[in-house]
Structure 1
Amino acid sequence: MKRIFEPVEIGGLKLKNRLVRSATWEGIAADDGGIDERTFAIYDELSRGGIGLIITGFTSVAGNDRYFGGMMRLHDDALVVQYARLVDLIHQQGVPVVAQLALGAFYREDGRQTEPTGMTVEEIELVERQFIEAAVRAQAAGFDGVQIHVAHYFFLSRFVSPAVNHRTDAYGGSAENRARIVVEILRGIRREAPGLHVSAKVNSDDFVPGGLNRQGAMEICKILADEGIDSIEVSGNGTSVAGVRPGRGEAYFEPFAKQLAAETDVPVILVGGLRSREVMQNVLDETDVELLSLSRPLLFDPEFPHKLESGECDDSGCVSCNACYSTSEHRCRIRR
Structure 2
Amino acid sequence: MKDIFDECNFKDLKLKSRIIRTGAWQRETEDGGYLTPVIYDRYEKMAKSGVGLILSEMFALDYKDRFFEYSANMNYKGFVKDYKELTDICHNYDVPVLGQLAFFYYDDGDNQKAEPNDLTIEGIRKLQAEVIMAAKKFSFAGFDGIQINMGNNFYLSKFTNPYFNQREDDYGGNTLNRIRIVLEIIKLIKKTIGFHVSCRINIEDVRKGGLTQEESLKMAKLLAENGADSIQITGRTISMKYDAKEKHIFLDYANKLAQEVDIPVILAGNLRDMEKMNEILNTSNVEFMSLSKPFVAQADFLADWKANGKGSSRCKGCNNCYSKKESRCFQYTD
TM over 0.5: yes
Matched, 1:186 2:207: no
CA separation of 1:175/1:36 partners in 2, compared to 1, >3 Å: closer, same or farther?
farther
1:287 to 284, 287, 300: 284
Aligned to 1:212: 211
CA separation of 1:13/1:39 partners in 2, compared to 1, >3 Å: closer, same or farther?
same
Aligned to 2:273: 276
- Count of aligned residue pairs for this structure pair: 331
Q: Percent identity?
A: 35
| Partners of 2:77 and 2:184 in 1: CA distance | 22
| Partners of 1:43 and 1:252 in 2: CA distance | 29
| Partners of 2:64 and 2:300 in 1: CA distance | 36
Decide whether the 8 Å contact of 2:152 with 2:237 is kept in 1. Answer: yes
| Partners of 1:324 and 1:66 in 2: CA distance | 18
CA separation of 1:16/1:159 partners in 2, compared to 1, >3 Å: closer, same or farther?
same
| Partners of 1:220 and 1:204 in 2: CA distance | 10
- AA matched with 2:184: E
The SS at the match of 2:57 is coil
Displacement of 1:108 = 3.9
Aligned to 1:310: 307
The 10-residue stretch of structure 1 (38-47 or 209-218) with the greater mean CA deviation from structure 2 = 38-47
CA separation of 1:38/1:274 partners in 2, compared to 1, >3 Å: closer, same or farther?
same
TM-score of the superposition, structure 1-length normalised? 0.90
CA separation of 1:223/1:325 partners in 2, compared to 1, >3 Å: closer, same or farther?
same
Output one character per residue of 1:23-50: Cα deviation in whole Å (capped at 9) or x when no partner: 3222444685543444333323322332
| Partners of 2:205 and 2:285 in 1: CA distance | 24
The SS at the match of 1:118 is coil
Aligned to 1:203: 202
Displacement of 1:128 = 0.6
Decide whether the 8 Å contact of 1:28 with 1:70 is kept in 2. Answer: no
- AA matched with 2:298: D
Aligned to 2:226: 227
1:30-109 counterparts in 2 under 5 A? 33-75=33-75, 79-109=79-109
The 10-residue stretch of structure 1 (159-168 or 282-291) with the greater mean CA deviation from structure 2 = 282-291
Matched, 1:267 2:302: no
The SS at the match of 2:186 is helix
Residue ranges of structure 1 left out of the alignment (5+ in a row) = none
CA separation of 1:28/1:303 partners in 2, compared to 1, >3 Å: closer, same or farther?
closer
| Partners of 1:249 and 1:274 in 2: CA distance | 14
| Partners of 2:27 and 2:144 in 1: CA distance | 23
Aligned to 1:297: 294
- AA matched with 2:230: S
| Partners of 1:7 and 1:312 in 2: CA distance | 16
- AA matched with 2:233: V
Displacement of 1:263 = 1.4
Displacement of 1:102 = 2.5
Displacement of 1:221 = 0.5
The 10-residue stretch of structure 1 (91-100 or 318-327) with the greater mean CA deviation from structure 2 = 318-327
Decide whether the 8 Å contact of 1:249 with 1:273 is kept in 2. Answer: no
* Root-mean-square deviation over aligned CA pairs: 2.4
The 10-residue stretch of structure 1 (23-32 or 249-258) with the greater mean CA deviation from structure 2 = 23-32
- AA matched with 2:272: R
TM-score of the superposition, structure 2-length normalised? 0.91
| Partners of 2:296 and 2:200 in 1: CA distance | 20
